[in-house]
Amino acid sequence: MREVFGPLIPLSEMHTGNHGVLELMHAGRGLSSRLTSLGLTPGTDVTVLQNYGHGPMIINVRGTHVALSRGLARHLLVKMEETK
Amino acid sequence: MSSESHSSTLQQTIYHPAVQGIPLIALAGQPNVGKSTIFNLLTGLNQHVGNWPGKTVERKEGRFKMDGIDYRLVDLPGTYSLTANSPEELITREFILTEKPDLVVAMVNAANLERSLYLVAELVALSAPLVVVLNMMDVARQEGLNIEANVLQAALGVPVVTMSATHAASTAELVKTIKQMVTSDIVQNPRLPEIRADHQVILNEMLELIKGYVPEVYPENWVALKLLEGDKEITNKMIALMPADKWNAIHDLLKDHDDALLAIASGRYEWIGRLTRAAVTHPRLGQISLTDRLDRWATHPFFGLVLLALILGAVFGLTFTLGSPAQEWMDARLITPFGELVAGWLSSGPLWLQSLVVDGIIGGVGSVLTFLPILVIFFAAFGFLEDVGYMARAAYVMDNFMHWMGLHGKSFLPLFLGFGCNVPAVIGSRVIDTKKSRILTILLAPFVPCTARMAVVAFLAPAFFGNRAVWVIWGLVLFSLVMMVLLGVILNRVLFKGERTALIMEMPLYHVPNLRTIGMLVWQRSISFVKKAGTIILGISVVIWALSMLPDGNIENSLLASIGKLSEPVGRWMGMDWKLTVALLTSFVAKENAIATLGILFGGTEGTGLAQTLSAIYTPATALAFLTVSLLFIPCVATLAVIKQETGSWKWTALNIGLMLVVSIASASLVFHLATAAGL
């Protein structure tokens, strides 16, 4: 687990190319279980590969490209790494 | 058990004696790790495809022989984890726990060790003898990863074999290891994942509570973890097995720690982290991969849709340039001559027998079989897009749109396939991950107008509407699709209570398609369709034939005509007489039968003559209503057969029939009255 200082924001608010650490998952049991099996757990690094501000988004987590609906991404809270 | 859990390296000894008889090997792995390629390489054509008992998940079993030893190989469904979120996951763990295979071969993707070892983290807890296969070593090397299999093997405590995706020669090491393992006693001490430290106490409490109630086939530690993960199936099992007061204590524990699932998953990834830190020496290079470059276009909100439209256009082009001529050829050169040949053989027999065989069986089954070329093209296109990894991209760009219907992106391609034929559309719904979305997609698929129905429309529309026919045809297609979207919205509300659908999907790396895998898929699906033509479709063809022939061999006095006349009042809502009603009823066997039936009813005229005759008899309003009801009428027998097969339930099949009956008759009645009012 890596220490990152930054604001806690929904994953859906991050822009293409942003990095962050997944902190909180409020997705409910069934969805959480599917998210964890694709590599999303609290403390994991995530990089946004594509987010056009509408529709689903693509993230890189543990070397896997994962597509998520926007509605779901709103329930995943990320501590965003400040970009210089 | 609980004292053991405190130790820093949780281990569990697995003992499996040398196999007597034919060893049973199970192949497990996450999706996109090349599992079916290995299965096909090992078993060749020596495999059997069916369904898991009571499930609609494909069960593939095969045999192979190496160095004089026969093996049975079962291909378990591809799953990301073993928590009962889907039938696939349930099947995989039940098979390993209850069938007790002599060896579980766990395939992982070497280019993506961290994620694909997650399933292995679950498998080691099931106490089955295990061998791990690092597949796609070539891809891993290209990405700059250097993996030391022997280090991984030492850290893991089970044999690790490497392999490079598609080469037949590379299975040699795996087969050698399998042979070694089944011919001698296996003793394994795999290192097990632990729950994240802050939840260790809770796990121990859980183990204390369930002690003595766990059925023998399940490892206690595993059951405790599954309860903490909130696994529905294991929870229900334990509720049934435990006295109420004991269960209440567990219930309270779970209520206070509903985040245990995340602690367990994190523990598994920590376990994976320890393994990979030791074995993977070169970190991933920061280069932009081919996948990233392609995805800039393929998943772009605008260009992605353009690309999708081009690809789908190409699939259609292929269907019409290859499939349709092949279909006509089969009809003219195979089915019809075969019918004539058989008629010749039976010429000395009774007339009814000749008619049964030639018109009923060869005519009915034959016309369904002529769709095989189109099906083959669609199965191949579908398999190709899946195998190169494009399917996930198509699902991604269509996700937004599909949400309107309470579906997500994965339903798009199966529905699209419906334009060719509804059969592959229904079968294609297998790629959808949740049962709700799968059922809804299957229920909606028949609303997509297939080529057979389009043939009826294209035949009749020009005679009635002249040069406006093109607009009528487009209007009808659009109308069908609007009905589909509307029904999707309504069914989602009514049947599934607006349950939210969320897309969670791996976007696999693009890779060179494996023609063998695609070929096997096309072969198996085609064979399964032909088998169906020989059974359920045959049966129904004979019934329809009997109805059209009894009692005196004349369709105008037949039972079918009586049914047509009986349902004429309903037909009249749509401005149709009994002849059109009968034509509609016979479209049940195959949609284009409507034309053939009208041909018989109007004195054996065919081709443009028939269309002219019809346009002289019926008003354009009636024609429009007939075309509307034809497009939306109950699915053909082949589609219904696969709906039953894929939903595994007569209830959903019946619901589909009822739904389409109501929608088609209501729409056509409305169209008829509106058109009449408009003076058509």
Q: pLDDT tens digit string along B549-564? A: 778 777 778 888 888 8
Asked if the model's pLDDT at residue B543 lies above 90, the reply is: no
B16 and B139 belong to one structural domain: yes
Q: Across the beta sheet with B103-109, what order do the strands follow?
A: B47-51, B58-66, B69-75, B24-29, B103-109, B130-135, B160-162
How many separate domains does chain B show? 2
- B591 and B632 in contact (C-beta within 8 Å)? no
Give the CATH number, domain containing residue B214.
Answer: 1.10.287.1770
Q: A18 CA to chain B: closest CA distance, Å? A: 15
Which residues 1-40 in chain A show a CB within 8 A of chain B? 25, 27, 29-39
* B118 pLDDT more than 90: yes
Q: Give the confidence band of B225 by pLDDT, cuts at 50, 70, 90.
A: very high
Please name the member of B112, B266, B301 whose beta carbon is closest to the beta carbon of A64: B112
Residue B207's pLDDT band (cuts 50, 70, 90): very high
pLDDT in tens, B155-202: 999 999 998 865 656 788 899 999 999 998 888 888 889 888 888 999
Interface check A65 vs B, CB under 8 A: yes
Instruction: Tell me the C-alpha distance between A43 and B110, whole Å.
Output: 23
Please check whether residue B657 lies inside any domain of the structure.
no
Nearest CA in chain A to B262: A41
Across-strand partners of B63? B72
Are B117 and B232 members of one domain?
Answer: no
Give the B window 492-521 contacts with A, CB below 8 Å.
Answer: 500-509
Q: Report residue B491 as tokens.
A: 């069914």
Q: Which domain holds residue B226?
A: 197-269
Position B7 confidence tier, pLDDT thresholds 50, 70, 90:
very low
On whether residue A2 sits in a domain, the answer given is no
Residues of B in contact with A62 (CB under 8 A): 112, 114-115, 269
CA distances from B31 to A55, B437, B504, B575 (A): 24, 19, 14, 52
Instruction: Flag whether A3 is in a domain.
Output: no
Domain shared by B159 and B223, yes or no: no
Task: Identify the pLDDT of residue B102.
Answer: 94
CATH number at residue A72: 2.30.30.90
Please identify, among B188, B218, B233, the residue that sits at the C-terminal boundary of a domain: B188
Query: With an 8 Å Cβ cutoff, are A29 and B261 in contact?
Result: yes
Q: How close does chain A come to B255, measured CA to CA in Å?
A: 12
Judged against a pLDDT cut of 60, whether residue B4 lies above it is answered with: no
- The predicted-structure confidence for B464-489, as pLDDT tens digits, reads as follows 888 888 888 889 989 999 999 999 98
Q: Does B75 touch chain A (CB under 8 A)?
A: no
Establish if A60 belongs to a structural domain.
yes
State how far the Cα of B38 lies from the Cα of B61, in Å rounded to an integer.
13
Q: How far apart are CA A45 and CA A59, in angstroms?
A: 10
Nearest CA in chain B to A52: B301
Strand partners, B59: B50
- The answer, yes or no, to whether the previous bond of B551 is cis (omega within 30 of 0) is yes
Residue A39 confidence (pLDDT) = 93
Dist. CA B464–CA B234, nearest whole Å: 62
The DSSP secondary structure of B368-386, one letter per residue, reads HHTTHHHHHHHHHHHHHHH
Lowest mean pLDDT among A80-84, B315-319, B573-577: A80-84
Inform me whether the C-beta atom of residue A83 falls under 8 Å from chain B C-beta atoms: no
Element (H, E) at B424: helix B422-428
Number of domains in chain A: 1
Does residue B501 lie in a domain region?
A: no
Query: What confidence tens digit (pLDDT) does each residue in B402-430 have?
Result: 888 888 888 888 888 888 788 888 988 88
Which pLDDT belongs to residue A84?
Answer: 45
Question: Cβ contacts of residue B635 below 8 Å, gap of 6+?
Answer: B422, B446, B643, B656, B657, B660
- B288–chain A Cβ distance below 8 A for any pair: no
Q: Residue written as tokens 């567990």?
A: B250
Residue B650 pLDDT exceeds 60: yes
- CB neighbour list of residue A69: distance below 8 Å, 6 or more residues apart: A56, B399, B403, B408, B501, B502, B503, B504
- How do residues B296-308 score in pLDDT, each as one tens digit? 899 999 999 999 9
CB-CB under 8 Å, B261 with A32: yes
Split at pLDDT 50, 70, 90, the class of B546 is: confident
Instruction: Tell me: do B253 and B169 sit in the same domain.
Output: no
pLDDT on residue B3: 37
What are the φ and ψ backbone dihedral angles of B178, each rounded to 5 degrees? -60, -45
CB contact under 8 A, A62 and B114: yes
> Does the distance separating the beta carbons of B114 and A66 come in below 8 Å?
no
- The separation between CA B254 and the C-alpha centre of its own chain, rounded to angstroms, equals 35
B270 has a pLDDT exceeding 50: yes
Averaged pLDDT for residues B632-653: 89
Residue B286 has pLDDT above 80, yes or no: no
Nearest neighbour of A38 by CB, restricted to B83, B292, B506: B506
Closest by CA to A38, choosing from A77, A10, A1, A66, is A66
Domain termination site, one of B188, B222, B251: B188
Both structure tokens of B553:
């061999």
Q: Which residues pair with A60 in a beta bridge?
A: A47, A65
User: For residue B283, what pLDDT is reported?
Assistant: 60
Q: Please tell me the total number of residues recorded for chain B in this structure.
A: 680
